[in-house]
Chains A and B, each alone.
Chain A
């Protein structure tokens, strides 16, 4: 059990720099999720923590120890891989006990730890099978069991659920969450799926192009995205981003549609500033079909191009400023394409980003 610290960690492949000096403190027993689109350096970062990739510059420490030069076997971490990476020629029991056997633990100890892990993950019935005889979900469980038995300082997960079908993924996600509550260890978890990040993390690290964009709790990242990238990456469907200009107390779009400046953001913007308005679909709702009906609001008459029925809600495709914008209708009724509806915009929830820096005006 330990904290993990990354200081100015850089990774180069030849002349190509893929991770540009990132800093990250992961607390003891914390569940941290690295999330970002493919190629953002999240897997590389995880593999550097594991010791499977050398770091080009900077410092990584696990607990009190700097591990830059340590091979993976001396870092006392365990890792769950995307393709499970089970040892195909060993039974489930041998797979689970392999790390302990290598560490020359006594047979009784191996037996005990394997039994313990099998019980936590419900693998008792499968111990004598080989990986080839298991389903995807079962293999994933064995991979996690193999990580648990060694009682490591930290668990590293590298997109562990992306090979599973949608239903199983949701189920395993819950199991990982439960597992963390049971075995209380530092976890670093890599995924490209923002839903996984939101549901699992104590803290989310959003990465892009080898930089960390934002670190924060799921609520912070969702409610206060620091820039347009984080804003559009976290949340589904993604936040609508519409360019506009500040004119006095109003935000004006290119087609001269106007919205009042939200009261809480007034002090952060200046007259004439070019901004990007961020509006989550949840905060653009037809009259009478929103979640929160209180607070500062604006309304707009919009034409619905397309309605996607999801059951408890309907996604409405409409246009603001000639740009496709998504809204949500809670407690939905049938909507005809082409229907004109009055939409409420929750100004309390609106985000403003500087058009030039793409950063939230609150930071400016």
Chain B
């Protein structure tokens, strides 16, 4: 065996074949993903500015990182992103769960409703942003108009200008657009749910709430965590809706990580510093993904093969 192996060049040996076949894919990934990643990592250690290409070679060590870590605006944006993500995901989970439970009860017209439910996902986030910018506009917005017509408010509520209301409006738009992702995944979970344990629980003395709390919900949690994982990546990179609706304003009160990064990188052309922030932001995303994945695995541990 060893003699034969020695006589054949290594790239023609059988155990090497998979690597040979995967080589094109590996090369492309290295070229289009790893290389830019390494390049941007490198620039985060330089004073690279877009308008001065030679600054690419201006090695500054950890100074970019020191600067952003001591920068209050960065930490505000960081905290705001975490808050935004937490509120949006929890609301989407609650609404999605409610919608899924209701649709699951419907027998007639369920397919149609399922399709309608997914409409918000079909629009570009930019357009959703514009739509809500119009709805929430304090002068010509349909919301203020409606509130006034109904006599619920007599002044123009500054939805996008007040710092708290602006955050609320953005979260509202985000939730409107993406609740259906939770709804569809949780509905899939409900469809996959075996009926027997539910009936066993009813006989075991559970009222409807207890059945939901002790049987349905634990079964749905893996599906919820899958949705959370997907959505946490989505929301952590939120840029489009925010930029369209408030542009990070008023006075930076709705500035999230990526709107800040884009501003620093493109408007101020401090690409080195922007890349340093981007790396911190990616670590945040990885942390969330890791967290939800751990939750997912824990929730799924007992679910295998007990039917």
Contacts and interface: CB of A to CB of B under 8 A. Distances in A.
A360 to B, nearest CB: 38
B306 A72 contact: no
Nearest to A79: B203
A71 interface: yes
Contacts of A51: 202-203
B18 interface: no
Interface in A47-89: 50-52, 71-73, 77-79, 81-89
B215 A87 contact: yes
Interface stretch (A2-10, A96-104, A238-246): A96-104
B194 interface: yes
Contact of A132 (B196, B206, B302): B302
A301 to B, nearest CB: 55
Interface size class of B (residues with CB under 8 A): 20 to 34
A146 B197 CA distance: 12
Contacts of A85: 194, 196-197, 199-200
A215 interface: no
B197 A52 contact: no
Given A99-B205, A102-B206, A81 B303 contact: no
Contact of B305 (A79, A82, A83, A132): A132
Given A86-B200, A130-B306, A131-B302, 14 more contacts: A50-B203, A52-B202, A72-B202, A73-B205, A81-B200, A83-B196, A88-B302, A88-B304, A89-B303, A90-B302, A99-B205, A132-B304, A132-B306, A146-B200
B124 interface: no
A351 interface: no
Contact of A83 (B194, B201, B207, B304): B194
A150 interface: yes
25 contacts: A50-B199, A50-B203, A52-B202, A71-B202, A73-B203, A73-B205, A77-B203, A78-B204, A83-B194, A85-B200, A86-B200, A86-B306, A87-B215, A89-B218, A98-B204, A98-B214, A99-B205, A102-B214, A103-B205, A130-B306, A132-B304, A132-B305, A146-B200, A146-B204, A150-B204
Nearest to B304: A132
B58 interface: no
Contacts of B302: 88-90, 130-132
Given A132-B304, A132-B305, A132-B306, A87 B200 contact: yes
Contacts of A71: 202, 207
Interface of A: 50-52, 71-73, 77-79, 81-90, 98-99, 102-103, 130-132, 139, 146, 150, 156
Given A52-B199, A81-B199, A85-B199, A99 B204 contact: yes
Contacts of B307: 83, 88
Contacts of B201: 87, 98
A89 B196 CA distance: 14
A87 B206 CA distance: 13
A323 to B, nearest CB: 43
Interface in B174-232: 194, 196-197, 199-207, 210, 214-215, 218-219
A83 to B, nearest CB: 5
Nearest to A52: B199
A52 B306 CA distance: 22
Closest 10 interchain pairs by CB?
A85-B196, A88-B306, A131-B306, A99-B204, A85-B200, A89-B302, A72-B202, A73-B205, A132-B305, A89-B218
A141 B170 CA distance: 54
A90 B302 CA distance: 7
Contacts of A87: 197, 200-201, 214-215
A362 to B, nearest CB: 41
Q: Which of A73, A81, A146, A156 has the most CB of B within 10 A?
A: A73
Contacts of A146: 200, 204
Q: Which of A50, A89, A139 has the most CB of B within 10 A?
A: A89
Nearest to A143: B200
A139 B200 CA distance: 14
Contact of A89 (B203, B204, B210, B219): B219
Interface in B78-130: none
Contacts of B205: 73, 99, 102-103, 150
B206 A81 contact: no
A102 B204 CA distance: 8
Given A83-B196, A89-B219, A102-B210, A52 B305 contact: no
Contacts of B203: 50-52, 72-73, 77-79, 156
Nearest to B195: A85
Nearest to A87: B197
B208 to A, nearest CB: 9
A86 B197 contact: yes
A79 B203 CA distance: 7
A103 B196 CA distance: 20
Q: Which of B196, B207, B306 has the most CB of A within 10 A?
A: B306
Nearest to A152: B203
A149 to B, nearest CB: 10
A84 B307 CA distance: 8
